[in-house]
Chain A
Amino acid sequence: MSGALAAAIAVGLAALGAGVGNGLIVSRTVEGIARQPELRGQLQTTMFIGVGLVEAMPIIAVVIALMVM
């Protein structure tokens, strides 16, 4: 029971952090595309790399939480 609780807390905190990080990245990208639509490709690429790197952490958290549960 306590193992499941610990796993849930770990996954929840990781998802919370990733959500905040993704939100910051996406908001700045949307702002950039709205200002300069011709730079969409480059901004999209930067957003992709940022979101990808941010999402690596919750995925590791999910995997480790499932392994130790």
Chain B
Amino acid sequence: MSYYENMVSRQRKWMFYLLAIYVLGAGFTPYQQIFLGLLLGGCVSFYNLWLLQRKIDAFAASTEKNESAGGLGSISRLAAAALAVLIALRFDAYFNVISVLVGLMTSYLVIVIDFFMSRFQKG
């Protein structure tokens, strides 16, 4: 498995753990609105992470083969984030909007923490 594939699988694993924690929080704590917001934001964030990983892999592969590359899918990711916020604003009885924002940033936290952890492990 290459360096990039290792990183991708690690990040997906951490995102699954975080989503599981959000689900447990929504089911078993009194802060249901907050955890549902985190879960909505986290799901969209996971989709964004998956899309970014896929697009960057395809982009690098096409560069290596000297083919024309497509875009990186930024508009799709922005649209997904906007959709999550619109859902949260429309159903504000169920989702806390600030939690959705924090949930949307989950994957970026995972990327940064994973980067530093792999750096320190390598020494």
A interface residues, Cβ below 8 angstroms from B: 15, 18-19, 22, 26, 29-30, 33-34, 37, 40-45, 47-49, 51-53, 55-56, 58-60, 62-64, 66-67
- The interface residues of chain A, by DSSP majority, are classed as helix
Q: Does B117 contact A (CB under 8 A)?
A: no
CB-CB nearest in chain A for B2? A41
| Interface pick from B19-27, B28-36, B53-61 | B53-61
Taking CB atoms, residues of chain B closer than 8 Å to A43 are 60
Please tell me if the beta carbons of A67 and B52 are within 8 angstroms of each other in the complex: no
Is the Cβ of A45 less than 8 Å from the Cβ of B7?
yes
Known: A15-B74, A44-B60. 9 other contacts (CB 8 A): A18-B74, A19-B74, A40-B60, A42-B3, A52-B107, A53-B111, A56-B108, A59-B48, A66-B82
8 contacts between A and B (CB under 8 A): A44-B4, A48-B53, A52-B49, A53-B111, A56-B108, A59-B48, A59-B105, A66-B86
CB distance from B96 to the nearest CB of A (A): 12
- Measured between beta carbons, the chain A residues less than 8 angstroms from B74 are 15, 18-19, 22, 55, 58
Complex contact B82–A62 (CB within 8 A): yes
Would you call B56 and A48 a contact (CB within 8 A)?
Answer: yes
B39 at the interface (CB under 8 A from A): no
